[in-house]
């Protein structure tokens, strides 16, 4: 019976799909390529699936959908990713083959913006560092050093004022922060100061929040020059992609006190996190989990289900713009 279901090649950790899988196990035969160590074609062989019968991939940023993967599946017609970003998918190859690429729309926006603000507050007020301190607080220990200054009035430079960046701005305005931004284009519908140059934005900011997609143009958009321009009182928050920052330089700047701190949800070579960061109290780390609530997952599942249903019944797809 299950062998008659259309195969759905799953590329990404099963935990991310378990909810979707539990709701749709009667519709698709789930092929967990992520947990297999075999090359794709060999894996399919072990499942007795011919490559030409795979028409759909469900993926997430932890496993790339490369041109080689796409080329090995001659009937592939859709790649659905449980993410807003699509940098893990070879989009050019998909375009060349007219393969639909479906990303999430607004399902993760609010949670990611909330976590960006949470990371900033944590780094600024040293909440996680204070938590570690409090657990070993003894009568002879000095109090932790004060956190410096108020969050209100801080100049926050947002890199990428899209849906998530806009929500971060809205939240931080409520904390009386002064918002400024860098984006591909100036947004005429907001009054925040626009900087076309990231170094200029950094020199005029106390905090940089990275919310933009990773592309050839944005890789290492925060390099050493930008970090030095931000300066030793500056904080960086990254909820975009690890490779938006030159991570080696970031580690050096944090260790040398050339910037004040960082709140990081994403890393350049996930799941590897630079070990030097573990000993630093001015860093708050999060395992690419900014959109990790059940609510988000339920919304994402609905979107994925609708997209795959539409594809397999040849109906129009709801396609979010690729960012």
What residues are labeled active site? 241, 270, 288
Please report how close the Cβ of residue 185 comes to ligand O=CC(=O)O at its closest, in angstroms. Answer: 21
Q: Which of 136, 155, 154 has its CA nearest to residue 144?
A: 136
C-beta closer to ligand O=CC(=O)O: residue 77 or 105: 105
Q: What are residue 244's phi and psi, to 5 degrees? A: -70, -25
Please report how close the Cβ of residue 108 comes to ligand O=CC(=O)O at its closest, in angstroms. Answer: 5
The DSSP code sequence of 68-91 is HHHHT-TT--EEEESSS--TTB-H
CB atoms within 10 A of CB 180: 19
Percentages (nearest 5) of helix, strand, coil residues in the chain: 35, 15, 45
Binding site for ligand O=CC(=O)O (CB under 6 A): 61, 83-85, 104, 108, 291
- Rg (alpha carbons) of the chain, rounded to whole number: 22
C-beta closer to ligand O=CC(=O)O: residue 18 or 42: 18
CA 56 to chain centroid, in Å, comes to: 23
Reading the block at residue 296, the tokens are: 């988000």
Q: Which of 105, 77, 227, 68 has its CA nearest to residue 159?
A: 227
Rounded Cα gap, residues 200 and 197, in angstroms: 5
C-beta closer to ligand O=CC(=O)O: residue 183 or 238: 238
Q: Which of 112, 104, 123 has its CA nearest to residue 171?
A: 112
C-beta closer to ligand O=CC(=O)O: residue 28 or 108: 108
Please report how close the Cβ of residue 192 comes to ligand O=CC(=O)O at its closest, in angstroms. Answer: 23
Contact criterion met (CB below 8 Å) for 75 and 98: no
Please report how close the Cβ of residue 168 comes to ligand O=CC(=O)O at its closest, in angstroms. Answer: 15
C-beta closer to ligand O=CC(=O)O: residue 89 or 180: 89
Please report how close the Cβ of residue 303 comes to ligand O=CC(=O)O at its closest, in angstroms. Answer: 12
Look at phi and psi of residue 58 and say left if phi exceeds 0, alpha if psi is from -120 to 50, else beta: beta
**271: cis peptide before it, omega within 30°?**
yes
Rounded Cα gap, residues 310 and 87, in angstroms: 24
Please report how close the Cβ of residue 302 comes to ligand O=CC(=O)O at its closest, in angstroms. Answer: 15
C-beta closer to ligand O=CC(=O)O: residue 85 or 165: 85
Rounded Cα gap, residues 160 and 187, in angstroms: 11
């Amino acid at each position: 019976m299950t062998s008659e279901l259309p195969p759905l090649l799953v590329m990404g950790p099963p935990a991310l799909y378990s909810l979707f899988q539990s709701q749709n196990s009667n519709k698709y035969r789930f092929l967990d390529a992520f947990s297999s160590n075999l090359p794709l074609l060999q894996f399919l062989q072990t499942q007795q699936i011919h490559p030409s019968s795979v028409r759909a991939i469900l993926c997430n940023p932890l496993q790339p959908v490369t041109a080689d993967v796409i080329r090995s599946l001659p009937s592939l017609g859709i790649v659905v990713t449980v993410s807003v970003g699509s940098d893990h998918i070879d989009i050019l190859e998909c375009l060349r083959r007219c393969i639909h690429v479906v990303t999430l729309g607004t399902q993760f926006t609010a949670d990611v913006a909330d976590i960006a603000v949470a990371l900033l507050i944590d780094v600024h007020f040293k909440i996680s560092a204070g938590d570690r301190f409090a657990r070993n607080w003894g009568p002879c220990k000095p109090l932790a050093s004060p956190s410096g200054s108020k969050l209100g009035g801080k100049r926050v430079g947002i890199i990428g004022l899209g849906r998530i960046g806009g929500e971060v701005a809205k939240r931080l305005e409520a904390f009386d922060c002064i918002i400024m931004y860098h984006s591909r284009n100036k947004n005429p519908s907001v009054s925040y100061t626009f900087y076309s140059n990231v170094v200029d934005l950094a020199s005029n900011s106390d905090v940089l929040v990275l919310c933009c997609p990773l592309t050839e143009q944005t890789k290492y958009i925060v390099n050493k020059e930008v970090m030095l321009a931000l300066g030793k009182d500056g904080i960086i928050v990254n909820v975009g992609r690890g490779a938006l920052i030159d991570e080696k330089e970031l580690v050096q700047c944090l260790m040398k006190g050339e910037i004040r701190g960082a709140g990081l949800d994403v890393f350049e070579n996930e799941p590897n996190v630079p070990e030097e960061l573990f000993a630093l109290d001015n860093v708050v780390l999060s395992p690419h989990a900014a959109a990790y609530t059940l609510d988000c997952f339920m919304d994402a599942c609905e979107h994925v289900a609708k997209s795959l249903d539409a594809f397999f019944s040849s109906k129009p797809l709801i396609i979010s713009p690729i960012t």
